[in-house]
Structure formats: structure tokens, C-alpha cells
Amino acid sequence: MGHTNISLLVRTVRGLEWVAAEEIARVCSATDIRLRERGVLFELPSGDLSAALKLRTVDDVFLRIAELLEVGRGKKDVSVLAAGVLGADLPGAVAVLGSLREISRRPTFDVVTSMDGNRRYNRFDVEEAVGRRVAARYGWRFVSHETPEAATTPSLTLTPSLTLRLLLEGDRGLVTVRTAAQPMHRRPYKVKTGRGTLHPPLAHMLAVLADPGPAAHLGDPFCGDGTILIESGHLGVRAFGSDLDFERVRNSVENARRARCHVSFVVADACALPYHDGSWDRVVTNPPWDVAVEAAGRLRQESGRAWRELRRMLRADGLGVVLVAADSGAERQLQAAGLPVVFRQGIRVAGRVGRVLMFSETARLPERLDTWRRTGLAAGIIDDEGF
């Protein structure tokens, strides 16, 4: 595996792959960027993996090391598949990762498989077959995820330093290796959380869509555990958050402290915010979906009042981005509150379908983002409102 041109795959939120592609182009100076469902493929001509580990809109980053053709769907095909994985340059991948972090000569590793369609085998069949063949070939220590055998497997006490990720789609397979030791969506700062806490890469995507300028005042009146505001802090904003739940605000304060991010937090009802009119240039928020977290306070009696409060908070040239349940009726309420919806995009997060709405009287989706969105539309990855 060469060290000058590195092929990568990132996994990301379904429906917002194009937002990740924009960040990849901007941060990594990547080439041959191609969108796919829940992911982006690209090349790093410089061979500098460290740039890819700075991405914040992605769930994870993987080295692409082999493509498997004619992947069968029968039970007997598992052995053929495992043999195909052995044909990949796994030692070469480990050598590349050695430029980022220390990896032992006999690393511990696990195997994670995702696959589509009907097959006569499951993910555990594939993972066990591949893991045991790789361990036998290279002398690496395999960490099994199979159940119920896994419950009595001593290797489970080991923490894998490498993860092989297999993606089986139709009759093709992709063999990849995670670049970082842990999934990139696991932010070190996020230790205090409650029900329905927001996925950090998605929070960062929402902030990127808001396109705040340097030192912009950005508010989140449903701040929960502070994820949106902490992720927005990486864009240089002045962040303000509130929530009616005292415990969640306390989580936010602790998470922001760990992230070394200055955010002003208060306990407040989103329908009666303690700020002056026109205090915010941007609003980025994720109101309760009445699933993991239920509406409380005045929001429970009159949800439209919260949108009118946001209208009061936003400056005349301000812009808001909100993540809501697909069937919430939020778009109609935003329009009624005098906040024109200028962009909408369906997404899938945590197994649920949501909708990202952008509202403003003057602003629109930034051109650099709209260019990648058009790329996603042309590739058939998304449609005008969803995927």
C-alpha cells in the first residue's frame, strides 16, 4: 500500500453527505470526491492522513484497501469472502496508520460488517470467519463480537487497536480499516448526556449550514447537553444556550468546560427567552421530538410561540437552522411566525427520519454548500427534499 496517494471512505449522516463532502474539500485538499449513501469516497494525494482526522462532520474515517467483486449471498460464500479479505494489503494499511499512532506488531483487532439485501448469512458469520482467518495469517489477536459465544471469549477483555470495516452492497464488497483508534463521532468532551442527546457530527453539520461569520452571536434555546453550541464554537462564534431542564444545562456547562469552549448558559423557557430583541445573528437548534425528550413548559401548550420567540431574537438579516421530526408541522409554524423557510432537507438519524429547515428573510444556502448539494442531486444520493 503506497504512502503517497491514500484512498479514504467516511461514514456520515444519511441525507447530508454533501455537507461532509464540502468539509472534505475545504479541510483536506482532497481529489476525486464521490458521494454515496451514508458516505463519501475521496483521495488524499499528499498522503497526509492527519488532515482527515480534523473532520468534524463525519462519523468515522476509513482507509480503503480493497474492493471485492462477485460477493455471493449463500452460506458457502462466507469462506470465499474471508479469503478475499486476506488478499487485501492489511499490513500495508497498518504501516500507513503507524504514521498517526502507535500500533503493536501483534495488534488486537475486531471486524464490523454492514450489508444490504437478503443473504443466507448474517454479520456475525462474516466477522467470525474474517477475524479468525486474519488472526491465523498474521498472528494478530481477534476480538470477537459474536453472541452467545462472545460472552465466554477471553479475548473480549482486550480493547481492539484496529477495526476492519466491511461494507457488502449487492455483489460487491469494500474492505476498509478505521484510521483512528476510536470512532470519530465519540467526542472526548461529551461525558454528561441525557436522553435524546444530539449526535456531534450532525450538530456540527447544522452549524456549518448556518454559515456564521467570525464572532457571530449564535443561540440555541433547546441546548440540551450543549452539543450544537460546543460544535459551533469551532467556527469562532459567540455561543448562547438555554434549556428548561436544569440538569441538561448542568450537563452543557460540564461538557463545554471539558471542550475548553466558552458558552453562556441559562435555564429558561424557549417561549420566554431572557435576551434582548435581535440578540442573535444565527439560531441553530433541535427542539424536542416528543420521543426521547418530551416538550415541556409553554412549548407543550403552544409550540408556535417558540418560533415567534425566535423571530424576536433574530436580527433582520439573521438566519436559523432547525432539526425537527419530519411530521412535526414546524415548517408551517415557522412561516406563520414570519420566518420564511428557504431550504429543507430530509435526513435519517438514529433510525428516525428528520428534516433540516433553514429560515431567513434575506439569506440563502451558501454557494459552496449549494454546489455540493447539486452534486448530490445529480448523483441521485438525495432529492429536492429528502433521499
* Interval 181-228: pLDDT, tens: 999 999 999 999 999 999 999 999 999 999 998 889 999 999 999 999
**pLDDT tens per residue across span 315-374:** 999 999 999 999 889 999 999 999 999 999 999 987 889 999 999 999 999 999 999 999
27 burial level (CB within 10 Å; 0-12, 13-18, 19+): middle
What pLDDT sits at residue 4?
Answer: 67
**pLDDT tens per residue across span 89-98:** 999 999 999 9
Whether residue 148 is preceded by a cis peptide bond, meaning omega within 30 degrees of 0, is: yes
pLDDT exceeds cutoff 70 at 60: yes
What pLDDT sits at residue 277?
Answer: 97
C-beta of residue 140 within 8 angstroms of C-beta of residue 173: no
Question: Which strands make up the sheet holding 352-359, listed edge to edge?
Answer: 263-267, 238-243, 217-220, 280-285, 314-325, 352-359, 341-349
Euclidean distance between CA atoms 71 and 120, whole angstroms: 12
- Cell reading at 114: 454492514
pLDDT exceeds cutoff 80 at 75: yes
pLDDT exceeds cutoff 70 at 147: no
- Residues 6+ away with beta carbon under 8 Å from 102: none
pLDDT exceeds cutoff 50 at 1: no
- Cell reading at 246: 436544569
At 35 the three-state DSSP class reads strand
Q: Helix %, strand %, coil % for the chain, to 5?
A: 30, 25, 40
Q: Kindly give the pairing relationship between strand 162-169 and strand 108-115.
A: parallel
C-beta of residue 144 within 8 angstroms of C-beta of residue 135: no
Q: What percent of the chain has pLDDT over 70?
A: 96
| Cell 409554524 -> residue | 333
Q: What percent of the chain has pLDDT over 90?
A: 83
What pLDDT sits at residue 69?
Answer: 94
Label residue 280 by pLDDT band (50, 70, 90): very high
Across the chain, mean pLDDT equals 92
CB neighbours of residue 106 within 10 Å: 11
The mean-pLDDT minimum among 31-40, 118-127, 241-250, 342-351 falls in 342-351
pLDDT exceeds cutoff 70 at 149: no
**pLDDT tens per residue across span 306-316:** 999 999 999 99
| Higher-pLDDT residue of 277, 289 | 277
Radius of gyration in angstroms for the set of CA atoms belonging to the chain, rounded to a whole number: 23
Highest mean pLDDT (candidates 154-168, 268-282, 285-299): 268-282
Phi-psi region of 29 (alpha: psi -120 to 50; beta: other; left: phi over 0): left
Euclidean distance between CA atoms 290 and 326, whole angstroms: 12
Mean pLDDT of 101-122: 94
| Cell 438514529 -> residue | 350
Label residue 290 by pLDDT band (50, 70, 90): confident
C-beta of residue 91 within 8 angstroms of C-beta of residue 138: yes
Euclidean distance between CA atoms 279 and 2, whole angstroms: 52
* Domains of the chain, earliest start first: 6-178 (3.30.2130.30), 200-379 (3.40.50.150)
Please give the model's pTM, rounded to 2 decimal places.
0.93
